[in-house]
Amino acid sequence: MRISDEIRIIDLLARREAEFLRVKECEDQIRALLEGNEYPFPPPPVVLPSHNRTNAKKAWRPLGIAVPAPVAKKNSRRANGEQPESSPACMPASHDLLPPLQAPGENAYLVHYLEKGKEDTSFLTDPSQVQSLLELACESFRVVKIDAVHFQTLEDYQILRTIWVDPAG
């Protein structure tokens, strides 16, 4: 949905609410003329959409943001000790599960990686994200090392232990 459509919907809902308020004001004026006595107001001639309950719809996402589809893991030949078939530039690699952070000091992972030949680092707190990076073996991206850190800010952190080092070096 475009942002202009969303703005238009909000405007129309506001107009709708204003019309309902006008109907209520008219009914209140009729009651005042009847000196507080109830008048049997007829129901609306049509069923209002607001009276129909609908199922919740998917959350709106802005256009232009691509969300990758989940990758289904296949039962490969690795379980039998055979080598996997050749694959495209990126394929999942086999790694043990990442050890969890130890409380109270460790609160983030510091991931050292090579991207297109350039070494860089990133802080992550979700072990599943780090594990997914470990399972991704691409020609242009490779995790080199993962440290457990006590993170305060980007400039203020302390490496507490090394959790994983790439065996390929």
113 touches 121 (CB < 8 A): yes
Per residue in 105-140, pLDDT (tens digit) is: 888 899 998 888 889 898 888 888 888 888 876 788
Q: Please give the Cα distance from 165 to 147 (Å, whole number).
A: 9
Rg of the Cα trace of the chain?
A: 30
Tell me the one-letter amino acid at 98: L
pLDDT at position 77 is 45
Whether the model clears a pTM of 0.75, i.e. scores above it, the answer is no
pLDDT at position 110 is 92
In angstroms, how far is CA 41 from the centroid of its own chain?
Answer: 48
Q: Which two tokens stand for residue 86?
A: 């050749």
Residue ranges per domain, the chain?
3-46, 89-165
Beta pairing class for 118-124 and 157-165 = unpaired
Q: Please give the Cα distance from 56 to 111 (Å, whole number).
A: 38
pLDDT at position 91 is 40
